[in-house]
Structure 1
Amino acid sequence: MEITNESSDHSDTEDIKEVDSIFSSCEHIHSQSLGSKYILDISASSESNPYIAAALSDFDCGIFNLTESGVSKITQLKSHTNKLVGCKFCPGQNRLLYTASTDGTIKLWDLRVLKQSEVCSFKDTTLDQSNVVKSLCSFDVSPCNRLLAAGTDLIDSDVYILFWDVRNIKLLGAYWESHTDDITQIKFHPDNSNKLMSGSTDGLINIYNLLEQCEEDALEECLNTEELVEDLQWFNDGKQYKISCVTSANNLQLWYSDGAEPYKRFNRDEIALKIKKTTENTYIAKAHPVKDSLLVLCGSNGHEGRTLRSLNLSKDHMIPAFQFKENVQKIRSSHINENTGVLITGGEKGILDIWKPNFKVLNNK
Structure 2
Amino acid sequence: MTAVERIEEQLASLRIAKRSTLSEEPAYVLDVDVSKPARSESSRFVAVSCSKKSIRVYNRETLNFLREYSSSPGILHGVRFAHACDSIVFSAGSDGTVKCWDIRLATQKAAQIFSGYPSNVFISFDINCSDLIICAGTEKVEKDTFLVFWDARGITDCTSTTKEPLGVYSESHNDDVTKVCFHPVERNLVVSGSTDGLVNVFDINKDNEDDALVSTCNSDSSVSCVGWSGRGYKQVYCTTHDEGFCWWDIAQLDTEEPITLSRVLDVRDTGCGENNSLHYLVGGLYHEKADKLFLIGGTSTGNIHLLGCSSDGLSLVGTLGGGHSATVRSFCWNLADESLLTGGEDAQLLLWKPGAVERSLSKKASMKIASSVQKRVRVHNSSLKSRKK
TM norm structure 2: 0.78
CA 310–134 in structure 1, closer or farther in 2 if over 3 Å, else same = same
Q: Secondary structure at the match of 1:329?
A: coil
**Distance in structure 1 (CA, Å) of the matches to 2:175 and 2:146:** 9
Amino acid at match of 1:77: Y
Q: CA deviation digits over 1:23-73, x for unaligned, max 9? A: 835222111111311111101113335301010101110110022xx3100
Once the two structures are overlaid, the 10-residue window that deviates more, 260-269 or 174-183, is: 260-269
User: How do 1:174-253 residues align onto structure 2 when only pairs under 5 Å count?
Assistant: 174-236=168-230, 238=231, 241-253=234-246
**3-state SS of the aligned residue for 2:130?**
coil
CA distance in 1 between counterparts of 2:340 and 2:137 reads 27
Structure 2 residue identity aligned to 1:119? A
269 and 142 in structure 1: CA distance in 2 versus 1, 3 angstrom threshold: closer
Match of 1:361 in 2: none
Partner of 1:27: 15
Q: How does 1:59-74 map to 2 (within 5 A)?
A: 59-67=53-61, 70-74=62-66
Structure 2: distance between partners of 1:272 and 1:39: 28
Residues 242-251 or 306-315, more deviating: 306-315
Tell me what 1:38 maps to.
28
How big is the shift at 1:196?
1.3
> Which amino acid in structure 1 is aligned with residue 167 of structure 2?
G
Instruction: Give the partner amino acid of 1:273.
Output: G
Say if 2:243 and 2:268, in contact at 8 Å, map to a contact too.
Answer: no
Q: Distance in 2 between matches of 1:285 and 1:92?
A: 27
Q: In the alignment, is the contact (CA less than 8 A) between 2:245 and 2:267 conserved in 1?
A: no
Partner of 1:4: none
Contact 1:333 1:347 in 2 (8 A): yes
TM-score, structure 1 length as denominator? 0.83
Aligned with residue 171 of structure 1, among 157, 165, 168: 165
Distance 2:270 2:310 in 1: 18
Uncovered stretches (5+) of structure 1, i.e. residues with no partner: 1-19, 359-365
Contact 2:238 2:246 in 1 (8 A): yes
Q: Is the 8 A contact 1:224 1:261 kept in 2?
A: no
State percent identity of aligned pairs. Answer: 26
RMSD of equivalent CA atoms: 2.3
What amino acid sits opposite 2:83 in the alignment? P
2:318 is equivalent to residue 325 of structure 1:
no
Residue 296 of structure 1 corresponds to which residue in structure 2? 295
Unpaired segments ≥5 residues, structure 2 = 1-7, 154-161, 356-389
- Provide the residue aligned with 1:117 in structure 2: 109
* Corresponding residue of 2:302: 306
Secondary structure of the equivalent of 1:24? helix
| Map of 1:147 onto structure 2 | 133
The letter of the residue matching 1:159 is T
Q: Quote how far apart the aligned CAs of 1:197 are.
A: 0.9
Distance in 1 between the 2:238 and 2:33 partners?
20
Q: Distance in 1 between matches of 2:175 and 2:310?
A: 34
**Quick one: structure 1 residues 339 and 184, their matched pair in 2 at CA, closer, same or farther if it must change by over 3 Å?**
same
Q: Answer with 28-37 or 170-179: which moved more.
A: 28-37
Question: How much does 1:297 deviate?
Answer: 1.2
Q: 1:269 to 1:232 in 2, by over 3 A?
A: closer
